[in-house]
Chains A and B, each alone.
Chain A
Amino acid sequence: MLRFVLRRLLLVIPSLAGLLVMTFFLIRVVPADPAAALAGENATPAQVAEIRRQYGLDQPLYVQFAVYLGQVARLDFGESAYSRRPVSLDIKLRLPATLELTVTALLLATLLGIPLGTIAAVHHNRWPDTLLRILSVGGIAVAAFWFAIELQLLFAMQLDWLPLRGRMSPGLTAPPTLSGFLLIDSLLAGRLDAFRDALRHLVLPAFTLSLGGLATIMRFTRAGVLETLQKDFVTYERAQGFPPHALIWKFVLRNSVVAAITQIGLLFGSTIAGAVVVETIFDWPGIGFYTVQAILTADYKVMLAVTLLIGVIYALVNILVDVVHGLIDPRLRERG
């Protein structure tokens, strides 16, 4: 199993190297004059020249790339023009909020998507299936930013059931940071009031963010279950008197979720991207909100760091997905 994980780690290296090259090109080569871009709109020619020298932009490209690699290795992305703090510090402070949101959203998508997809498959071509199919196509078609606003309109503004924005009510003191996940930290601190508050704040953004993933996981689970139901071993298990519920929810499902779990890995990327939009609308103090601010204020260092970060997270999640596959299907473990 360890060898399996190590092999997967090695396979990621080319992708990460490519990502480094691409980000370097985006920042240093695509803009006509990166020094002018870095200096900002109102800089004098002297300031631009100073920045060019200071950032080594007058050096040959390969030297610049080497310097860039060194900076990335030290996680030194410079200071954010927007917050006036080191970018790595900002990210460190904001990452847990985004992870809590995306993990909750994906968890929601998985916990709802797998059973719903299974139900659709079991009732193949009857009304529960049709209904769930329309819902799943709708879930992908809906624009998250609009859906979020409509949810705010209904549940926060009109009905006043849930908070409009933020991660925690202003009056509450946050529990001591251990995991960075407010839900976990408040439970660890025994602060049920904080837990309830954090949960209430999480509902709308997490639900909005889960929609795309929910639809995708549902579709892949449905297709997987339908395919498995055709298999000989299902006939055999029925013939041997396996009760229908155990047959479907244990023996068929485990064979069917492999494709859906692959999707969870792929979805992590799109969910984090979705967080950019959702965090902006719900004023969620995470990476997504930070990214939008950085992009709107042309804060290149932040954009660079965030792009790299997401690429790395994406790669790691895909390794995790492979490992989970190995756990589910013993044949994959041995193939390596």
Chain B
Amino acid sequence: MSDAALLEVRNLRLSVRTDEGIAQILDHVELVLPHGHILGVVGESGCGKSTLARAVLGIVPKTATIESGEIRLEGEDMLRLSDREMTERVRGRRIGFIPQDPYLALNPVFTIGSQLLSPLRWHSPPTLRTERERRGHLVSLLRRVQIPEPEAVLERYPHQFSGGQRQRLMIAGALACGPSLVIADEPTTALDVTTQLQILKLLKSLTEEFGIGMLFVTHDFGVVAQLCDSITVMYAGQTVEAGPTREVLADPRHPYTRALLACHPDRSDGLTGIPGLVPSPLAPPTGCRFTPRCTHAVEVCSRRTPRFVSDSPGHLVSCRLADEHRKVGL
């Protein structure tokens, strides 16, 4: 068990039934997150990042089917667990969740206390058997995430907090039961820039302090550069590139990663974008899905799906160019 990665996703395929047909939302997704690391999952909207986060938690919509693959948490395949086992042993307990929009993620008609204490009651970690211990634990966590007057906060309602404070509450909630993995789904997108920075710093220091691994979903390379140890880039439901943050940023191999980086305001001169749109998951292009938008595309790209293989140690890419590069190198 100890040598298994914290989270390992292998060959994950997920489709959703819609009125217009079957949509392939995730296709051959690969991902490895070692213990205590922060992994950034990057891509445009609609490329399946959030669905991936939900699939790990087992809370995909009823219309979705996981067709194949493995999701291993510390070696244990989550897809083999029943929904009940996931509820009792995994969600909130071993995996904490930080949502995208703290304005919408707190139930408006319950106090902060009843929302954040509930999971502690149900999961009831061995050190927190009594209500007093649980309250004390939560209060100290709230203090740790820099919420003023933590005791009083438990009696208040969500609408009485600012966005940044709410996101701190969500972070405390995610850490409450002592998880080994935290999934953060664009946790700073809904916040203003200064608050964003504070939250990122807080997340970084907390993961180090508690030795927690984090799956950080975002569309912002800037955030990834500040926070993450490694990156996985997704496009149209597929993982196209993965590797250590520094290496991927310095030497992006996939044309999509390059295009994304070129779009980032810090790096580009004007307002550029990637021409075209993310293809509809109802009718994905054959072969490499980036072909229609790729400036390096050749005829073979739309015929053969490139393999997701190691380009240099720890750096994986799925692109024809990388394949050829390697052959030349050999």
Q: Name A residues whose Cβ lies closer than 8 Å to a Cβ of B.
A: 231-233, 235-244, 246, 251, 254-255, 328-331
Task: Let me know if B119 is at the binding interface, CB within 8 A.
Answer: yes
A330 to B110, CA, bound (A): 8
User: Quick check: A240 and B92 within 8 Å, CB to CB?
Assistant: yes
B105 contact from A236, A242, A254, A255, Cβ within 8 A? A236
Task: Let me know if B159 is at the binding interface, CB within 8 A.
Answer: yes
Which of A238, A241, A243, A255 has the most chain B CB atoms inside 10 A of its CB? A241
User: Quick check: B157 and A330 within 8 Å, CB to CB?
Assistant: yes
User: Quick check: B106 and A239 within 8 Å, CB to CB?
Assistant: no
Known contacts A235-B59, A236-B97, A330-B159; is-contact A243 B87 (Cβ 8 Å): yes
Which of B54, B83, B92, B177 has the most chain A CB atoms inside 10 A of its CB? B92
Residues of B near A243 (CB, < 8 A) are 87-88, 122
User: Quick check: A239 and B91 within 8 Å, CB to CB?
Assistant: yes
Look across to chain A and name the residue whose beta carbon is closest to the beta carbon of B53: A239
Look across to chain A and name the residue whose beta carbon is closest to the beta carbon of B101: A232
A335 to chain B, nearest CB (A): 10
A170 to B100, CA, bound (A): 67
Residues of A near B87 (CB, < 8 A) are 241-244
A95 to B57, CA, bound (A): 57
Look across to chain A and name the residue whose beta carbon is closest to the beta carbon of B170: A236
B121 to chain A, nearest CB (A): 10
Look across to chain B and name the residue whose beta carbon is closest to the beta carbon of A258: B109
Residues of B near A255 (CB, < 8 A) are 107-109
User: Quick check: B110 and A251 within 8 Å, CB to CB?
Assistant: yes
Q: Interface code B75-87, partner A: CB below 8 Å = 1, 0 otherwise?
A: 0000000010011
B119 to chain A, nearest CB (A): 5
B177 to chain A, nearest CB (A): 8
A216 to B141, CA, bound (A): 45
Residues of A near B119 (CB, < 8 A) are 240-242
User: Quick check: A329 and B109 within 8 Å, CB to CB?
Assistant: yes
Residues of B near A246 (CB, < 8 A) are 118, 122
Look across to chain A and name the residue whose beta carbon is closest to the beta carbon of B106: A233
Task: Let me know if B228 is at the binding interface, CB within 8 A.
Answer: no
A231 to B183, CA, bound (A): 19
A328 to B110, CA, bound (A): 9
A237 to B109, CA, bound (A): 14
Task: Let me know if B10 is at the binding interface, CB within 8 A.
Answer: no
Residues of B near A238 (CB, < 8 A) are 57, 59, 91
Residues of B near A251 (CB, < 8 A) are 107, 110, 115
Residues of A near B108 (CB, < 8 A) are 233, 255, 329-331
A240 to B118, CA, bound (A): 9
A239 contact from B92, B157, B177, Cβ within 8 A? B92
A254 to B109, CA, bound (A): 7
Within 8 A of A (CB), among B162-219: 170, 173-174, 177, 183
* 8 cross-chain CB contacts under 8 A: A232-B101, A233-B106, A239-B99, A240-B92, A241-B87, A244-B87, A251-B110, A331-B159
A108 to chain B, nearest CB (A): 25
